[in-house]
């Protein structure tokens, strides 16, 4: 970008381009396999049942979006080396995101979740064993209760998050979304509480 143009020198947002990178179901799967364990393109190709050369574009898109990074180089025969990819530390859009950026990011997440649920139900219909539990409800939570609930969710995630343990990879999605505006903690003088 030219130094005189608006936005020049603005720091790149860590989640910039994330929603575009996650718009492809294959890229979502690649990221999921890398969350399980760092892998090379060849190993990811084995997971996907595709030739490795079909994955390089997608890996490039994930790397450009800051979702994955090269974690290591593994020596191969004849002096060659292959890249080993791992998830990068990324944060979802924050308060500085535009409404469009946030909506696109969340749309990608919801689409990925819908795909997981659909795939699990299709597997169940085919006679395989997949567990799916969906719960949707509404709770009235004070600020203190919301903070306490978030703390409990973090504790549960930490308690059960053991990637080295035997078991089945299970997607856990929890959304805490206010359905109405929260009352201000300190309303302006003269305003109704």
Mean pLDDT in consecutive groups of 10 residues from the start of the chain, 193 residues: 38 58 81 86 91 91 85 86 84 75 78 80 88 88 92 88 75 80 72 57
Residue whose pair of structure tokens reads 């979740």 in the numeric block: 113
Residue 24 burial (CB count, 10 A): 15
| Residue 84 lies in domain | 18-130
Q: Torsions phi, psi of 42, nearest 5? A: -65, -45
3-class secondary structure, 179: coil
Q: Yes or no: say if 41 and 59 are a contact pair by the CB < 8 Å rule.
A: yes
What does the DSSP 8-state code read for residue 13? Answer: P
What is d(CA 44, CA 86) in angstroms, rounded to the nearest whole number? 11
pLDDT of residue 7: 39
- 139: in domain: no
Q: Torsions phi, psi of 57, nearest 5? A: -60, -45
What is d(CA 88, CA 179) in angstroms, rounded to the nearest whole number? 32
Question: Two tokens at 155?
Answer: 């504790």
**Structural domain count, the chain:** 1
pLDDT of residue 57: 92
- 112: in domain: yes
- 160: in domain: no
Instruction: State if pTM tops 0.75.
Output: no
Taking CA atoms, 10 is separated from 5, 92, 98, in Å, by: 11, 18, 15
CATH of the domain at 63: 1.10.10.10
- 144: in domain: no
- 184: in domain: no
Percent helix, strand, coil in the chain (nearest 5)?
Answer: 45, 10, 50
- 35: in domain: yes
- 39: in domain: yes
Exposed (0-12), middle (13-18) or buried (19+): which is 5, by Cβ within 10 Å?
Answer: exposed
Q: Torsions phi, psi of 167, nearest 5? A: 140, -170
Taking CA atoms, 182 is separated from 68, 129, 164, 179, 188, in Å, by: 36, 42, 40, 9, 14
């Amino acid at each position: 970008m030219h130094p005189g143009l608006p936005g020049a020198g603005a720091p790149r947002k860590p989640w910039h381009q994330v929603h575009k990178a996650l718009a492809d179901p294959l890229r979502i799967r690649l990221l999921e396999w890398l969350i399980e364990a760092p892998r090379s393109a060849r190993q990811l190709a084995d997971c996907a049942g595709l030739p490795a050369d079909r994955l390089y574009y997608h890996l490039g898109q994930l790397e450009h979006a800051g979702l994955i990074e090269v974690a290591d180089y593994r020596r191969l025969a004849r002096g060659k080396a292959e890249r080993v990819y791992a998830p990068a530390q990324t944060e979802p859009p924050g308060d500085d995101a535009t409404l469009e950026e946030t909506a696109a990011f969340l749309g990608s997440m919801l689409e990925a979740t819908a795909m997981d649920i659909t795939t699990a139900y299709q597997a169940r219909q085919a006679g395989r064993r997949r567990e799916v539990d969906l719960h949707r409800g509404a709770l009235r939570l004070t600020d203190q209760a919301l903070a306490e609930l978030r703390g409990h969710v973090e504790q549960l995630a930490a308690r059960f998050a053991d990637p080295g343990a035997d078991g089945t990879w299970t997607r856990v999605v929890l959304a805490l979304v206010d359905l109405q505006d929260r009352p201000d903690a300190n309303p302006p003088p003269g305003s109704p509480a």
